[in-house]
Amino acid sequence: MQPITNLLITASCKAVKFLKRDFLELEMLQRYNKGNYDFCNKSYIKTQDLLRNELQKYTSSLFFPEDKFELDNASEMVLLINPLDSLSNLEKSIPFFAVSITCLKKINKILTTVCTVINFPALDEIYYVEKGKGVWVGNNTTNNSGRLRVSACSSFDNFLISTDDFNINPVFLKNARVFGSYCYGVLLLAAGKIDAVYFSSLNYTLKASFDLIVRESGGIIINNDKTFVATNYELSEKFKHLLLEKTSLSS
């Protein structure tokens, strides 16, 4: 494991300690109330502050979802940070929410994604991926870890897709799943538990990390422009055909 990956894991673990406490507090309420949003928004801000304080020791180039970021940034190292991928899940005490940190470094004068750490405090799971070394999952209390690989599913008869867009081809919709967390969806793809993702509104702090996660788990990215679409190699050609078919029908 690279030293920077260790640093990101340590920083994420420090930041999520109180997020788990907040989740348990919301879960004990057993019902939603109007104050939950304000409570969770404070959790977001506190997580952001903790991560900023911890990570600025290593670089001043920290970017959060609300910041403007360009790939031609002059910095030698950049950290893209999503303090809380899915505030709405936390708000409803649903455990699918995560802290995501991605490191980009200058390689041949181009900022390149080298590693990502994604920490799910309520699930006690931590995922990390390094360029050329695969995607791994462990937990916050032991050193055990396992490598993830995409599925070998080759038929739409038994395939599953995670999406946030219900205007996609109906073939996909009959087996669609919505988790409310982009990170959770893409890591289920990496683990072979679902077979594709179709996201229409990813923020830039997640796109670079998802690209690395899919490639390092053996998947293929079909689109990473306005939408983020990825699957395994067995389904990729069929998937492209159905996407083009839907596009031509809607144009």
CA distance 232 to 144: 26
Last residue of a domain, one of 148, 178, 206: 148
Q: Is residue 156 part of a domain?
A: no
pLDDT of residue 226: 79
My answer on whether 49 and 101 are in the same domain is yes
Residue 223 belongs to a domain with what CATH number? 3.40.190.80
Question: Is residue 189 located within the same domain as residue 84?
Answer: no
Identify the domain boundary among 123, 148, 173. 148
pLDDT at 236: 87
Annotated binding residues for Mg(2+): 84-85
Please check whether residue 93 lies inside any domain of the structure: yes
Strands, sheet with 62-63, edge to edge from the N-terminal-most edge strand:
62-63, 77-85, 98-107, 110-120, 125-130, 134-139, 145-148
- E-assigned strands of 74-157? 77-85, 98-107, 110-120, 125-130, 134-139, 145-148
Beta strands 161-163; 196-199: pairing state: parallel
110 and 7 assigned to the same domain: yes
Orientation angle between helical segments 204-216 and 182-190, nearest 10 degrees: 10
pTM of the model: 0.89
Residue 136 shares a structural domain with residue 245: no
CATH number at residue 28: 3.30.540.10
In the chain, how many domains are there? 2
The pLDDT assigned to 72 comes to 65
Residue 113 is predicted with a pLDDT of 92
Which residues participate in the annotated binding site? 84-85
What does the pLDDT profile of the chain (251 residues) look like in tens digits?
889 999 999 999 998 888 888 888 887 765 666 678 888 888 899 999 999 999 998 888 899 988 877 766 667 889 999 999 988 898 888 899 999 999 999 888 888 899 999 999 999 999 999 999 999 998 755 555 688 999 998 888 888 999 888 877 777 778 888 899 999 999 999 999 999 999 988 888 898 899 999 999 999 998 777 789 999 999 888 888 877 665 443 43
> Domain of 82?
3-148
